[in-house]
Chain A
Amino acid sequence: MSKVETAMAAPAPQEGASPEYLDWLRRERRSRLSVRGTQLALLLVFLVLWELLPRAQIVNPLFTSYPSALWPTFLDLLKTTPQQASILTHTWSTVLATVIGFTAAMIIGTVIAAALWWWQALYRVLDPYLVVANAMPKTAFVPIFYIWLGATLSIYGMSLAISLFVTILMIYNGFQGTDANKIKLAQTFGARKGQILAKVVLPGSVPTLIAALKVNVGLSLVGVVVGEFQSANLGLGYLIQYGSQIFKLNIVMTAITILAIVSSVMYLAISWLEAAVMRRR
C-alpha cells in the first residue's frame, strides 16, 4: 500500500513542514537558479566576445560579422532578398524539408524495423549491411543524389538517407528489447504475431520511438542543409552558401543563428511531446 500513499501524497509544500525541509527547499531553489544564471552568463560572454573582438580588430570582422549586425541583416533580408524570396520563405523551406525528412525516416524506419522483427532471418541477413550503411558518411552522396534526384528531391533524399539507418537500428533494438515475459503473457492468451506487435512490442517501444525522433530531428536538419548547399536556390543552406560566395558574412551568420533557433524549437517541441507521453505511463 505504501506506493499508493506516495502516489497520493500532496506535492512539495505541505502545511506543518519542518523548518529543515523549508530550508532544503530554499537551497534546492537557489542551486536551480544559479545553474540558469550561469547558463545565461555564458551566452552573454560569448555574444560580448563576438561583438568586441572584431570591433577591436583582434579578429577580422569580414570573417565573423557581429551579433549587433544580425537583426538589421534579418530586417534587410525580409525586403531585399536573394532569389526573390524573403528570409522567412527560406526558413520555411528548410523547416518543411526537415519535417518531411524526419517524418519519412520515422515511418519508413519503423516499418522496416517491424519487418526485421517479424522475420528474424531477414535481420540476420541484412545486419552487416545496415551497420555499414549507418556508418557511411552519407554526405558523400550529396552530388550523386543531385544527379539522380534533381534539385528538390535530392534535399529530401539526403535528409532521409542521413537519418533512416540509425532509426532502423534504434527502433529494431527497442523492439528486440521488449520484455520476453510480456510477450509470453500475450501468448498465453493465444496472441498471434500481429497482436503481439500491436499490443506489446509497439506500445512498449514508445520511449525508444521518441528517443529515435530526438536523434532524427537533428540529423534531418543536417541532411537538409547539406543538400541545400549543393542544389537549392531556396532555404537556409542556400543562404549560407550564397552569403559566403559573395563574402557577406552578415547573411551567413544570420542564417546560422536562425538554424540554431529552429533546432532549439524543434528540440523543445519533442521534449514537450516526450513529457506528455511519459505522463500517461
Chain B
Amino acid sequence: MDETRAASSAGPLPRLRGRVGEGEATGAGASGAPSPPSPASGGGSAPSSASTHTESTESVTTPPKVELRDVGLRYFGREGETEALKDISLAIAPGEFVAVIGQSGCGKSTLLSLISGILRPTSGAVLVDGKPVTGPSRKVGYMLQQDYLFEWRSILENTLLGAEIQGLDMGKARERAAALLTRYGLGQFLHHRPRQLSGGMRQRVALARTLVTEPDIVLLDEPFSALDSQTRLALADEVAEILRRERKTAILVTHDIGEAISMAERIVVLSRRPGRVKSDRPIRFATADGTRPAPFAARNRPEFNGYFNTLWQELEVHVEG
C-alpha cells in the first residue's frame, strides 16, 4: 500500500536544506565532463551503462566487481536446517547500482552478509574483484537497517569506528569524517551525542561511517526502513546521489518496490525461501539528456508504474491469513 501511494502522489520533493538539488547539479556536471563513457559513471547514459551486460549473454567487457557463483547458504539449528539461499549466480559491474527485492525471510540480508564476508556460503563462491571473499574487507562497506550509533561516542567518534577498527591513519580519517558529516549537513553536530539527533540525521551519520573507510562497494540493507516516510524519500534521493557521484558499486536490499525502482538501475527479484534469482532486469528511464532522474523524480516518470506492476506480480505478494 505504501508504495502505491508514494508512486501516485505528485507532492513536492521533500528536500533537506536544498542540498539534494545542489548535489544533483554538481554531480551531473562532474560525472559528465571528465570521464568519458566509463561504465563506472552509474548515473551516465543508460544505453552504454553497465546494465547492458544483463541482457547480452555474450562476454562482459569489464570484469565484474562482485560475482556470486552458484551460491547456496543453509543455517543450522537444533530444530533442523534452513535453506536460505539456493543456486544464486549474479555478476555486478563496477559502479552499478543494483537493488535486490523479495519478501521478508527470502534471504536478502543473508546475501549481503555473504558479500561482506561476515558469512561464508555453504556451497558456491563469492568473489570481489575476481578474488574469493574470505572475510570482511576494506573494499566493502555495509550499511545496516538501523544506524546502531554507539550512545557512548560522539557523532564524530561514531563516524570513525570503522577507521579505528581497520587501523587507518586517524588524522586523515578524522578530516574525512568531518568533511563527510559537514557535506551531509551535520557539521554543527560533530560533538553531539547520537540521542540529540533525529532518525534521518542519525542514518546520515551511519552513511558517513560507512564511507569514511572508502569502500568501493556499498551494501545497503533496508537502510531507510526505520525512518518515517518523508525522511525516507528525501534520504533515498541523497544517498543515491552520493553513491552515484562517488562511483560506488551499490547493492540495495529492500522490500519496498518503489524504493528499488527509483534508486537502482537494475533489479534482482528473489523468490521465497530458499531464495533464488527469479528475475533480473535493468531499470531505464527515457530522459532528454540521458541522465538518470533522481529517485523522487523517477517516481513520477511514466515508466515507473509499468515496472512497479511487473515487479509486484513477480513478488506474488498476498496477505497470509
Q: Given A3-B198, A184-B144, A281-B193, do A189 and B166 touch, yes or no (CB 8 Å)?
A: yes
Is A60 on the interface with B (CB-CB < 8 A)?
Answer: no
Report the separation of the CA atoms of residues A203 and B117 in the bound assembly, to the nearest whole angstrom: 26
- Contact, CB under 8 Å: B148 / A191: no
Report the separation of the CA atoms of residues A187 and B197 in the bound assembly, to the nearest whole angstrom: 25
**In the complex, which residues of chain A have a beta carbon less than 8 angstroms from the beta carbon of B76?**
none
Number of residues on chain A facing chain B (CB within 8 A): 24
**In the complex, which residues of chain A have a beta carbon less than 8 angstroms from the beta carbon of B135?**
190
Kindly identify, within residues 150 to 183 of chain B, every residue whose CB is under 8 Å from any CB belonging to chain A.
150-153, 161-162, 164-166
Is B30 on the interface with A (CB-CB < 8 A)?
Answer: no
**In the complex, which residues of chain B have a beta carbon less than 8 angstroms from the beta carbon of A182?**
148, 150
Kindly identify, within residues 283 to 306 of chain B, every residue whose CB is under 8 Å from any CB belonging to chain A.
none
Report the separation of the CA atoms of residues A124 and B198 in the bound assembly, to the nearest whole angstrom: 41
Is B196 on the interface with A (CB-CB < 8 A)?
Answer: yes
Q: What 7 A-B pairs come out closest when comparing CB atoms?
A: A190-B136, A188-B142, A189-B162, A7-B196, A189-B165, A191-B165, A187-B118
Is A186 on the interface with B (CB-CB < 8 A)?
Answer: yes
- Contact, CB under 8 Å: B148 / A3: no
Kindly identify, within residues 5 to 43 of chain B, every residue whose CB is under 8 Å from any CB belonging to chain A.
none
**In the complex, which residues of chain A have a beta carbon less than 8 angstroms from the beta carbon of B116?**
188
- Contact, CB under 8 Å: B165 / A2: no
**In the complex, which residues of chain A have a beta carbon less than 8 angstroms from the beta carbon of B151?**
281
- Contact, CB under 8 Å: A179 / B197: no
- Contact, CB under 8 Å: A4 / B198: yes
Is B278 on the interface with A (CB-CB < 8 A)?
Answer: no
Report the separation of the CA atoms of residues A200 and B148 in the bound assembly, to the nearest whole angstrom: 11
| Overall SS of chain A's interface | helix
Report the separation of the CA atoms of residues A180 and B18 in the bound assembly, to the nearest whole angstrom: 36
**B220, chain A: closest CB distance, angstroms:** 12
**In the complex, which residues of chain B have a beta carbon less than 8 angstroms from the beta carbon of A3?**
195-198
**In the complex, which residues of chain A have a beta carbon less than 8 angstroms from the beta carbon of B148?**
179, 181-182, 185
Is A243 on the interface with B (CB-CB < 8 A)?
Answer: no
Q: Given A1-B198, A4-B196, A4-B198, do A280 and B162 touch, yes or no (CB 8 Å)?
A: no
**Chain A 166-189 interface mask (CB, 8 Å, partner B; 1/0):** 000000000000010110111111
Report the separation of the CA atoms of residues A48 and B196 in the bound assembly, to the nearest whole angstrom: 50
**In the complex, which residues of chain A have a beta carbon less than 8 angstroms from the beta carbon of B201?**
1, 4
Report the separation of the CA atoms of residues A237 and B301 in the bound assembly, to the nearest whole angstrom: 83
Is B45 on the interface with A (CB-CB < 8 A)?
Answer: no
- Contact, CB under 8 Å: A190 / B150: no
**How many residue-residue contacts, CB under 8 A, span A and B?**
68
- Contact, CB under 8 Å: B118 / A185: no
Report the separation of the CA atoms of residues A186 and B142 in the bound assembly, to the nearest whole angstrom: 10
Of all chain A residues, which has the CB nearest B219? A188
- Contact, CB under 8 Å: B152 / A181: no
30 example contacts (A-B, Cβ-Cβ < 8 A) are as follows A1-B201, A3-B195, A3-B197, A4-B197, A4-B201, A7-B196, A181-B148, A182-B148, A182-B150, A184-B144, A185-B142, A185-B161, A186-B161, A187-B118, A187-B136, A188-B136, A188-B142, A188-B144, A189-B136, A189-B161, A189-B166, A190-B117, A190-B138, A190-B165, A195-B165, A200-B150, A203-B152, A206-B152, A280-B152, A281-B195
**In the complex, which residues of chain B have a beta carbon less than 8 angstroms from the beta carbon of A186?**
161, 165
Is B51 on the interface with A (CB-CB < 8 A)?
Answer: no
Of all chain B residues, which has the CB nearest A187? B118
Is A204 on the interface with B (CB-CB < 8 A)?
Answer: yes
Is B49 on the interface with A (CB-CB < 8 A)?
Answer: no
Report the separation of the CA atoms of residues A186 and B193 in the bound assembly, to the nearest whole angstrom: 19
Q: Given A2-B198, A190-B165, do A204 and B136 touch, yes or no (CB 8 Å)?
A: no
**A195, chain B: closest CB distance, angstroms:** 5
**Chain A 113-147 interface mask (CB, 8 Å, partner B; 1/0):** 00000000000000000000000000000000000
**B120, chain A: closest CB distance, angstroms:** 13
Give the residue of B136, B150, B213 whose beta carbon is less than 8 angstroms from that of A203. B150
- Contact, CB under 8 Å: A184 / B150: no
- Contact, CB under 8 Å: A188 / B118: yes
**In the complex, which residues of chain B have a beta carbon less than 8 angstroms from the beta carbon of A190?**
117, 135-138, 165-166
- Contact, CB under 8 Å: A181 / B138: no
**Chain B 129-153 interface mask (CB, 8 Å, partner A; 1/0):** 0000001111011101010101111
Report the separation of the CA atoms of residues A204 and B152 in the bound assembly, to the nearest whole angstrom: 7
**Chain B 89-129 interface mask (CB, 8 Å, partner A; 1/0):** 00000000000000000000000000011100000000000
Is A26 on the interface with B (CB-CB < 8 A)?
Answer: no
Give the residue of A2, A199, A204 whose beta carbon is less than 8 angstroms from that of B164. A199
Of all chain B residues, which has the CB nearest A280? B152
Q: Given A189-B162, A190-B136, do A184 and B118 touch, yes or no (CB 8 Å)?
A: yes
Of all chain B residues, which has the CB nearest A6? B196
**In the complex, which residues of chain B have a beta carbon less than 8 angstroms from the beta carbon of A4?**
189, 196-198, 201
Q: Given A195-B165, A199-B164, do A281 and B144 touch, yes or no (CB 8 Å)?
A: no
- Contact, CB under 8 Å: B144 / A181: yes
**In the complex, which residues of chain A have a beta carbon less than 8 angstroms from the beta carbon of B165?**
186, 189-191, 195, 199
Kindly identify, within residues 1 to 53 of chain A, every residue whose CB is under 8 Å from any CB belonging to chain B.
1-4, 7
**A103, chain B: closest CB distance, angstroms:** 23
Report the separation of the CA atoms of residues A187 and B189 in the bound assembly, to the nearest whole angstrom: 26
Report the separation of the CA atoms of residues A281 and B141 in the bound assembly, to the nearest whole angstrom: 27
**In the complex, which residues of chain A have a beta carbon less than 8 angstroms from the beta carbon of B118?**
184, 187-188
